[in-house]
A and B are shown apart, each in its own frame.
Chain A
Amino acid sequence: MTILLLEDDRELGRLIRDELVARSYDVHWSQNLSETEQLRKSLEFDLAIVDLNLPDGQGFEIISPLHCPVIIMSALSGPENRLKGAELGAIDFIPKPFLLQELFLKIDRALGGGRDKNKLWNLEQVTLDLHKRQIVNGEETHLLNKRDYRLLDILTSQAPQVVSRDEMIDYVYGKDQNPSQRTIDNAVVGIRQMLGDDQHRWIRSVRGEGYQWILKGE
Chain B
Amino acid sequence: MRWIFGVILVWLVFVMSLASWWLYFGVNTLSVAASSGVSGLLARHQRMLFLEGCVLLASLLIGGIGLFYFSFRMYKEKSAKEMFFASFAHDLKTALFRLQLEVENLQKSVEGREVDNILNHTRKMQLDLENSLDLTIGASQKLFIEKVNLKNFLVDLHAQWPEFHIKYNGADTLMVDKKALHSIFKNLLHNSSIHGQADTVQVELKNQKDRVQVFYSDNGQPYGGDLAELGRSSRYSQRGSGFGLFIVRQWVTKLKGDLQFSTNATGALQVVIDLPGERP
Contact = CB atoms under 8 A, between A and B. Distances in A.
Contact of B94 (A15, A96, A106): A96
B210 interface: no
Majority SS at the chain A contact face: mixed
A194 B247 CA distance: 33
Given A75-B93, A79-B142, A106-B156, A144 B165 contact: yes
Interface in B137-170: 141-144, 146, 151-152, 154-156, 158-160, 162-170
A145 interface: yes
Nearest to A83: B144
A99 B144 CA distance: 23
Interface stretch (A38-46, A155-163, A170-178, A205-213): A170-178
A15 B179 contact: no
Contact of B165 (A86, A106, A143): A143
Interface in A15-63: 15-16, 19, 53
Interface of B: 86, 89-90, 93-94, 96-98, 100-102, 104-105, 111-113, 122, 126, 141-144, 146, 151-152, 154-156, 158-160, 162-170, 177-179, 182, 199-200
A146 B163 contact: yes
25 contacts: A12-B94, A12-B97, A12-B98, A12-B101, A19-B105, A75-B90, A75-B93, A77-B179, A78-B179, A86-B144, A93-B178, A96-B97, A97-B93, A97-B100, A97-B122, A99-B159, A101-B159, A106-B156, A139-B170, A140-B168, A141-B154, A144-B165, A145-B162, A145-B164, A145-B165
A183 B108 CA distance: 25
B156 A79 contact: no
A145 B159 contact: no
A80 interface: yes
Interface of A: 9, 11-12, 15-16, 19, 53, 75-80, 82-83, 86, 93, 95-102, 105-106, 109, 132-134, 139-146, 148-149, 174-177
B165 A174 contact: no
Given A15-B102, A79-B144, A97-B96, 11 more contacts: A75-B93, A80-B142, A93-B178, A100-B101, A102-B160, A105-B156, A132-B155, A134-B155, A141-B168, A142-B166, A143-B167
